[in-house]
Homo-oligomer: A and B are copies of this chain.
Amino acid sequence: MQKLQQSLCCQQCHFSQLCLPYSFKGKEIERLDDIVVRKSPYQKHQRLYVSGQPLVSLYAVRSGSFKSFTLSEDGEEQITAFHLPGDIIGFDGLEMMQHQSYAEALETSMICEIPYDTLDHLAGVFPKLRQQITRIMSGMLCQHQAMLLQLNKRSASERVLYFLASLGQRFGDRGFSDKAFRLSMTRSDMANYLGLSIETVSRLLTQLQKEDKIEVEGKLITLLDKAIPS
């Protein structure tokens, strides 16, 4: 049991450099470990939280993947992000201390739950932790800005390629291949996120393949040299 705990702690986690423990020393990381709750696995389609629910914790993806989305008044879904291991989910709920979106597992996934009141308290004590939280939120703002450019200025084809390339880069950051990976989301999810129709996404995937920019085999994607922007 002790060993299991050990294997699950932040020091052992492969994604700690992307997550909260970034640049932490022994003492600080132990305090973080104390407050983190390792939950049982989430199954595909299972929700981490729903919109309107009081925010008590943030959630770090340990394995698997999630999507975040909002629902408009008339019930249409808008996916706002896909989350990979090391990502932290729930920051949009801190303003009102109520979740402003939904988070749903795209596959069987593991989660570390981080109670927010204790995290905030630690943020007062450890400047490094405070700065890391700030850094993560700031990075999310930058991502949104890049996305805005894509949606407003780029063609459907460019958006699809951008999506695959940035996903590849994120896999690369996590020590996986940045060229070949498996999509955990459906074509419908991709289309929703990119503001396109399912049919357009499907067509463009085959077209990009014809242009020798990518290889597609169902959910398996390989980025070829031509995919890299000129």
A residues bordering B, Cβ < 8 Å? 70, 72, 76, 78, 80, 91-95, 100-101, 120-121, 123-125, 127, 130-131, 133-142, 144-149, 151-153, 192, 194-195
Cα of A91 to Cα of B192 in the assembled complex, Å: 28
Cα of A93 to Cα of B142 in the assembled complex, Å: 8
- B78–A141 CB distance below 8 A: no
Which residue in B124, B134, B148, B192 is a CB contact (below 8 Å) of A147? B148
- A130–B141 CB distance below 8 A: no
Decide: A100 near B145, CB < 8 A? Known: A92-B138, A130-B124, A137-B138. yes
Among all A-B residue pairs, the 3 with the closest Cβ atoms: A152-B195, A94-B138, A95-B138
Cα of A80 to Cα of B217 in the assembled complex, Å: 36
Of the A-B pairs whose beta carbons lie under 8 Å apart in the complex, a sample of 19, sorted by A's number, is: A70-B145, A70-B146, A70-B149, A72-B153, A78-B145, A78-B148, A78-B152, A91-B141, A92-B145, A94-B135, A94-B137, A95-B136, A121-B127, A124-B125, A124-B130, A133-B134, A144-B144, A151-B151, A153-B195
A225 → chain B closest CB, angstroms: 19
A61 → chain B closest CB, angstroms: 17
- A120–B130 CB distance below 8 A: yes
A94 → chain B closest CB, angstroms: 4
- B80–A148 CB distance below 8 A: yes
- A138–B70 CB distance below 8 A: no
**Which of chain B's residues has its CB closest to A78's CB?**
B149
